[in-house]
Amino acid sequence: MSIPTLEELRRKADILIFDLDGTLIDSMGVWNQVDIEFLGKRGLEVTPEYLDAVKKNSSRDAAVITRRLFDLEDTPEQIMKEWDDMVSEHYRGSIPLKEGVFEYLTRAKGLGFTLMAATALSIDHAGPCLRRCSIYGLFNSVITLDDIGNKINKSDPAIYIRAMENAGGSDPSRVVVFEDVPACIEGAKSGGFITCAVHDPVGLGTLSWDDMASTADYSIMSFTEALG
């Protein structure tokens, strides 16, 4: 179901929680290329199953999974450092917002929504990117999986609950979570949140868009579409 206009949505919700990679920022292709290059240097290939396993996790947990799946000699710290070196410049200098994002967030803020970010990114990548794209100040705060700990990933609702509570909310049925990864939509739904699937070809993984959209309360192909 297409998401209502922001004006209509304001009657149903007070808080909007946004994922970053693949939802607000057009970065999933960068991570896909990093995976290809990282594993390719070791004579290994990226599989859809591998991508689905890592993209809902923090960088550290993704490194642990990568080391285990491919029996690598590298430590998780070495893997994370190599990834960080490969993507840092992109987040600081080139990764753009997805179409319609700035306008959507600005309008939502003007209508009185509290905006939160909930991301698997480290704050070292998220912060510079959001500031460069001039949207950092629109969010009350940015919650990362590093803030949650306990090996929680985004298939668990803990990060969305933390974001809601940090925004002063207590009722997930008054909060909309925007995500581009199927497992993350399921995580938010398990916490009682309203969900909106955002189209991203990499985020989809092995699932079709129709199947992912059907699992969420709402779905959008782009934020330009959502502006109406």
Quick: pLDDT tens for 59-73: 888 899 999 999 999
Instruction: State percent of the chain over pLDDT 70.
Output: 100
CB 139 within 8 A of CB 130: yes
User: The domain that contains 182 carries what CATH number?
Assistant: 3.40.50.1000
- Per the structure, the count of domains in the chain is 2
Q: Does residue 35 lie in a domain region?
A: yes
pLDDT higher than 80, residue 36: yes
pLDDT higher than 80, residue 55: no
Q: Does residue 42 lie in a domain region?
A: yes
Looking at the structure, do residues 177 and 160 belong to the same domain, yes or no?
yes
Looking at the structure, do residues 125 and 192 belong to the same domain, yes or no?
yes
Q: How far apart are CA 131 and CA 136, in angstroms?
A: 5
Provide the token pair at 210. Answer: 């129709």
Looking at the structure, do residues 40 and 108 belong to the same domain, yes or no?
no
Looking at the structure, do residues 106 and 155 belong to the same domain, yes or no?
yes
Structural domain of 132: 6-27+97-227
First-to-last alpha carbon distance for the chain, in angstroms, is: 14
Looking at the structure, do residues 53 and 153 belong to the same domain, yes or no?
no
pLDDT higher than 90, residue 31: no
Residue 54: HSE in the Cβ half-sphere, 13 Å Cα cutoff: 25
Looking at the structure, do residues 122 and 194 belong to the same domain, yes or no?
yes
Looking at the structure, do residues 165 and 189 belong to the same domain, yes or no?
yes
pLDDT higher than 90, residue 195: yes
| 108-133 pLDDT tens trace | 999 999 999 999 999 999 999 999 99
Q: Average pLDDT of the chain?
A: 93
- pTM value is 0.88
pLDDT higher than 80, residue 151: no
Residues near 99 by beta carbon (within 8 Å), at least 6 away in sequence = 222, 223, 224
Q: What's residue 32's pLDDT?
A: 82
Q: Does residue 1 lie in a domain region?
A: no
